[in-house]
Amino acid sequence: MRPNSRFLYRRVLLPLAVSLVVTLSLVSAASAQRSLAYDTLSSETPGAVSCGFCGGEKAAVIYYELPGGGGLRPSEFPLLVRELVVAVASAAPGAGGACVAGTTPRDGLFDVAIYAGTTVPTAVNTLPANGVWPGEVEVTAATEIPLALSISSSTTVPMFDVNLLTLELDAAGLRVEAGYTYLRVVLGIQPDASVTSSTCPAGQGPSGLPMRDDARIGPQRNLIYAGPSGGWLWNEEADVGGDWAIRLDIRPLGVGADGGVPGDAGSSDDAGSVSDAGVPMDAATVDAGTASPPTESDDGCGCSLVAAARSRPGALVLAALCVTLALCRSRRRLRSPR
């Protein structure tokens, strides 16, 4: 399959300052809650913004059991989905295809959907752009959610202050019954006519862009929807060299599930702060051990701003702020799959 050229990128090194958006709520049964994350974005690791998106396109992650027993195990169902954590940025392709970072604080509009499924797909290109895939049910969905975009201090020497935004889906948690084996999270990008993009049709500039780390930890975990002509593609098929900063906080309820098992990302680092339980993230050493750096390409448009793995004094700022959203269709239980 021919990669989508809008997602090929050049590497540009820059410092990274991280601001974590965390909840200050008290936690009950903390040992049973953990975070699912396939990305390693933090103040000590590389991060990136991919500028190849247009309005109407999407970034997605599928959480499922991984080789070696990591990831989301079928035995952890039933489970409760409590929070979604995302990082989005202000940037767009400029003259010559260079990715230009935004410097003015603003919100972007995004759609959010979470699905539960029974069999993880391998071929995704012709699957529906919207709604459930075969064997799936909708856990929750909402449209045009305003999210604060991470911005840079400069367009010439970009340095993003990255906000990891916590969206509370339901105070009690959204129950997904036993019988399902994976969760799929989709972040849809609303178009913004005021955003000029050299790679998008007029009026279809992206309202904001998903952030990611700078090296995939494994194949067939992260996806993009590249419009009707491109369809769904795994990130590796589109030459996207990283994993989206899209995470879920869950509470497993299955037999033998205590939620406190080590995750797949090794050290929790800053990412541990987004989990109420403080459990290691689910993007861990088991997965990262099989990773290899993506092949860099100077073809296509320069569609990425990349952060260097460099820290500085005062780079980590904890903000006592929680973005709480009531997703209108979320307060219901899901039936077991047939």
CB 152 within 8 A of CB 159: yes
How long a stretch of residues is the chain?
A: 338
Whether 16 shows a pLDDT value over 60: the answer reads: no
Structural domain contains residue 287 = yes
**Model pLDDT, residue 217:** 86
* Domain span including residue 193: 5-324
- Count of domains observed in the chain: 1
Structural domain contains residue 128 = yes
CA distances from 19 to 85, 120, 161 (A): 13, 34, 6
Q: How far apart are CA 39 and CA 268, in angstroms?
A: 11
**Model pLDDT, residue 293:** 33
Structural domain contains residue 335 = no
Structural domain contains residue 46 = yes
pLDDT, average across residues 267-287:
28
Whether 148 shows a pLDDT value over 70: the answer reads: yes
Structural domain contains residue 332 = no
**Model pLDDT, residue 305:** 58
Interior angle at CA 235, CA 232 and CA 238, nearest 5: 75
Residue with tokens 């509370």: 168
**Model pLDDT, residue 333:** 32
What would the pLDDT profile of 228-265 be if each residue is shown by its tens digit?
Answer: 999 999 999 999 989 999 999 999 998 755 543 333 43
Burial zone of 232 (CB within 10 Å; 0-12 exposed, 13-18 middle, 19+ buried): buried
What would the pLDDT profile of 17-59 be if each residue is shown by its tens digit?
Answer: 433 333 323 333 444 789 999 999 887 777 889 888 999 999 9
Share of the chain above pLDDT 70, in %: 66
Whether 149 shows a pLDDT value over 60: the answer reads: yes
Structural domain contains residue 330 = no
Contacts with 310 (C-beta within 8 Å, 6 or more apart), sequence order: 15, 16
What would the pLDDT profile of 153-163 be if each residue is shown by its tens digit?
Answer: 887 777 888 88
**Model pLDDT, residue 259:** 41
**Model pLDDT, residue 258:** 52
Share of the chain above pLDDT 90, in %: 49
**Model pLDDT, residue 196:** 83
Structural domain contains residue 301 = yes
Whether 275 shows a pLDDT value over 80: the answer reads: no
Structural domain contains residue 334 = no
Confidence of residue 5 (pLDDT cuts 50, 70, 90): very low
Which amino acid does the sequence have at 205?
A: G
- Which DSSP category does 128 fall into? -
What would the pLDDT profile of 284-328 be if each residue is shown by its tens digit?
Answer: 322 222 233 333 332 222 244 554 322 222 221 222 122 222 222
CB 295 within 8 A of CB 35: no
